[in-house]
Amino acid sequence: MSVFMIRNHRPSHVSLGDRGEIQGWNYLGQRGYRILHLNYRCFLGELDVVAMRGKRLAFVEIKTRRQDRYGTPEEAVHSEKQKRLIRLAAYYLKAEGWEDVPVSFDVLAIRWFENQEPEFRLIQDAFGLEETRT
């Protein structure tokens, strides 16, 4: 059963990214993620999902694409995006008092081609702190 519902039709005022996020929240919930925050915003930007995955605090970036012409959804989480997510996560951890908890950075890539059901690819531990230091 879905935690978050979305109608099957696609109203024009709901973006592909928003539809993908809603589908992604359901997908994560079905895989045991206990969602703590959705679209957590601060002055540094936004975290799509903050959730518990086992004993880890998972920061999940959801990317949705309707075609692969400009790359796959997971390729959109490039090194600069990773650096921004790490800064956001550090701020979140300090602000919420979670500084001593193990963390992971996961990516949920959704390919949602026209007139097809979405395809999900969940990449757990997609990147870490050491991969983005330069």
CB atoms within 10 A of CB 77: 20
H-type helices in 47-96, by residue range? 79-96
Q: Minimal CA–CA distance to 34: which of 15, 70, 60, 9?
A: 60
- Average pLDDT, whole number, for the chain? 87
Q: What is the pLDDT of residue 97?
A: 94
CATH topology of domain 16-132: Trna Endonuclease; Chain: A, domain 1 (3.40.1350)
Handedness of CA 40, 36, 90, 77 (dihedral sign): negative
Q: Which residues pair with 119 in a beta bridge?
A: 111
Q: Which of 9, 126, 124, 16 is nearest to 67 (CA)?
A: 16
Nearest CA to 31 among 108, 132, 115, 96? 108
Domain spans, the chain: 16-132
7, pLDDT greater than 60: no
Q: Tens of pLDDT along 33-56?
A: 999 999 999 999 999 999 999 999
pTM of the model: 0.85
Q: How many CB atoms lie within 10 A of CB 14?
A: 13
